Structure 1
Amino acid sequence: MKAAVYYENGGPEVLKYEEIPDPTCHPKGVIIRVEAIAIEGGDTLNRWRGPLMTNPHVVGYQAAGEIIEVGEQVTNVKVGQKVATVNNWGSHAALRSVPARNCWPIPEGFDVRKAAAIPVTFGTAHDCLFEFGRMKKGETVLVQAGASGVGVAAIQLAKRAGAGLILATASSDERLEKLKRLGLDHGINYTRDDVVKEVKRLTDNKGVDVVVDSVGGSTLQGSINALAYRGRVSMVGAAGREPMVVDVGSMMGGNRSLSGVFLGAEIGTDRVHDNIQQLIEDAARGELEVVIDREFPLSEAAAAHAYIESRQAVGRVVMVP
């Protein structure tokens, strides 16, 4: 099969489009013929510095397509079914081997490209807001990196849950403007404005109740400083590629809290599995929008990764084998 592979960590240029052996099917797994690959921020981080679990390594969490083989112990899905899938690696390829538990049936007629982008992206945003952020109707929310896949999902989910005010950051006014139709109330251009000062100004100096922070690094301290009394930060990534250094003492006076969120730790649970399936079905009914910024052929994986890292995209970047 064809795949985007690399032999060493580095920038997008390490990705090569090559022929590699087809994957084998585990007794509890399936093989899918990949029709769409949704590139996650974690995919670019793994390419940059993550362990190479195979040689050559095929990176990637999310892909969707048609099941062409099922293991002898599999009963929940069948050959010919279209599914969205998640695994620790292996999405950047024409074929993919995944545990059957990591498959979610795609409703008939729903765009496979959009389905590919839902499990990690929307599942993570949902956990950040509700499971760990404990967001309630009427509360204020700040989404760091609002134009990212998780950011776009978080804005919509917060709006649907009745957030009183939704703020988000992005690197340009143009990107922020595109988020308003999804439920954004006020955008903050972090390249020009002081995020904490803007949050305080927009909330009458109260701060926000919940922050979804996929950036980390120095941004994380700003997220804490932007909190209201008893505010909560859900820290879910290191897109900023900086060390995580925060003053935990800054949380004490306002009884604030900081939670690390990693969907993968609970993706095998009934709670998360069922929630992801519900999110896919909600999107298929048009209740949530999966924003696809650009589509690349898998053969141009290096260009696709470079485009993501240029911070121009709004939503997800998708590749097609």
Structure 2
Amino acid sequence: MKAAVYDNPGPPSVLKYVDMSDPVCGRDEVLIRVEAISIEGGDLINRRSTSQAPRWVVGYAAAGLVVSVGKDVTTRAVGDKVAAFSMQGSHAELWAVAASRTWLVPAGLDIAKAAVLPISFGSAHHSVITRGGVGEGETVLIHAAAGGVGLAAVQLARQAGATVVAVVSGSERQTRLIELGATFVVDRMQHDVEEEARRLTNGTGVDLVIDPVGSTLQASLSALAPEGRLVFLGNAGGGKLDVDLWQPMQNNQTLHGVFMGSIFERPSVHGTVDNLLAAAAAGQIDVVIDRSFALEDAAKAHEYAEAAKPLGRVVMTL
């Protein structure tokens, strides 16, 4: 098979498109002929910082056709179209993944959108609904709102009846964010996010903050109302996750950490992703793809995902 690999971590240029041995399907796995790959934020972080073996195949998310099933697998069959998540290996023509980490793709759903949805919308739902407990009439501030998780969070928060404050870098995407459900869009390059959160809530602060950036955690806490909730689910900013906890203690605020890699197989979470895939197929949510590349152009795709500030996800297709 062909795959995009690297020997040592570094910039996008470390990725090479090479021939590799086909993966072997384990007894509890399915072998997928990959059709679309979603480039996740974690893929970029891992490529810059992690290499566990020569010719390392990075990648969390993809979708495609099941071509083989392990002898213990009863829930999937050859010919199924599935979306999949695993901690490594999606940047390839073939991918062996635990069957429990796959979801059937509903009829009518574009395969690239199916590849994107589990991590972006699964993470957003767990953050906004399950952990964040957003309620009708509450105000939610969402950092990195133009990213895959951010755009999903905007839609889910608005559908739950919340007022949505979307934080972005640059105001050129404001119209699209409002179309997707943002009530207000704050350009963090032009405005202080905490001050805007206070102004838009008449000095009270927001009820919930969704923060996938990490370096913004202190500002997120400062934007919260008393008894507000902060859900942090990543470190896209790349800095230390250091915050002063005296303020949230005094204000009776709650902090939730979300890491989806360890809970996707939990029945409630797995079933939620099934429901979200069905909602996407029915046109009830919008999985936004900024640009598509061929797998052989993985270095260019990673460079674009890092440098271009895409609206939504960047995908690769085969």
> Structure 1 length normalisation: TM-score?
0.97
Matches of 2:38 and 2:213, distance apart in 1 = 19
Q: Which runs of 5+ in 1 are unaligned?
A: none
1:43-78 deviation per Cα after TM superposition (whole angstroms, max 9, x unaligned):
10111113x334311111100000000011111010
Aligned counterparts of 2:275 and 2:248: Cα–Cα separation in 1: 34
Superposed counterparts of 1:26-175, under 5 Å = 26-50=26-50, 52-163=51-162, 165-175=163-173
Letter in 2 for 1:250: Q
Given that 2:218 and 2:244 are in contact with CA atoms closer than 8 Å, whether structure 1 keeps it comes out as yes
Structure 1 runs of 4+ aligned residues shifted over 3 Å read none
2:309 is equivalent to residue 312 of structure 1: yes
Q: Secondary structure at the match of 1:229?
A: strand
By how many angstroms is 1:257 displaced?
A: 1.5
Give the C-alpha shift of residue 29 in structure 1.
0.4
Note the alpha carbon deviations across 1:93-127, whole angstroms, 9 max, x for none: 11100001111001112110101101111010001
Contiguous gaps of at least 5 residues in structure 2: none
Q: Percent identity?
A: 47
Offset of residue 162 of structure 1: 0.9
* Cα deviation digits, residues 297-321 of structure 1 (max 9, x gap): 1111111111111142001111012
Residues 236-265 of structure 1 show CA distances to partners (whole Å, capped at 9, x for unaligned) of 011111111111112122211111101112
Q: Match for 2:316: what amino acid?
A: M
Q: Is the 8 A contact 2:7 2:53 kept in 1?
A: no
AA aligned opposite 2:144: A
CA distance in 2, matches of 1:240, 1:177: 25
Distance 1:122 1:240 in 2: 20
* Counterpart-to-counterpart distance in 2, 1:132 and 1:248: 19
Partner SS state of residue 252, structure 1: helix
Q: Name 1:203's counterpart in structure 2.
A: 201
CA contact (8 A) 2:8 2:54 kept: no
Is 2:276 the counterpart of 1:282? no
Alignment partners' CA distance in 1, 2:167 and 2:158 = 16
Asked if residue 15 in structure 1 is aligned to residue 15 in structure 2, the reply is yes
TM-score of the pair, normalised by structure 2 = 0.98
Which AA in structure 2 matches 1:89? Q
Partner of 1:182: 180
One-letter code aligned to 1:62: A
Cα RMSD of the aligned pairs, angstroms, is: 1.0
Letter of the 1:18 partner, please give it. V
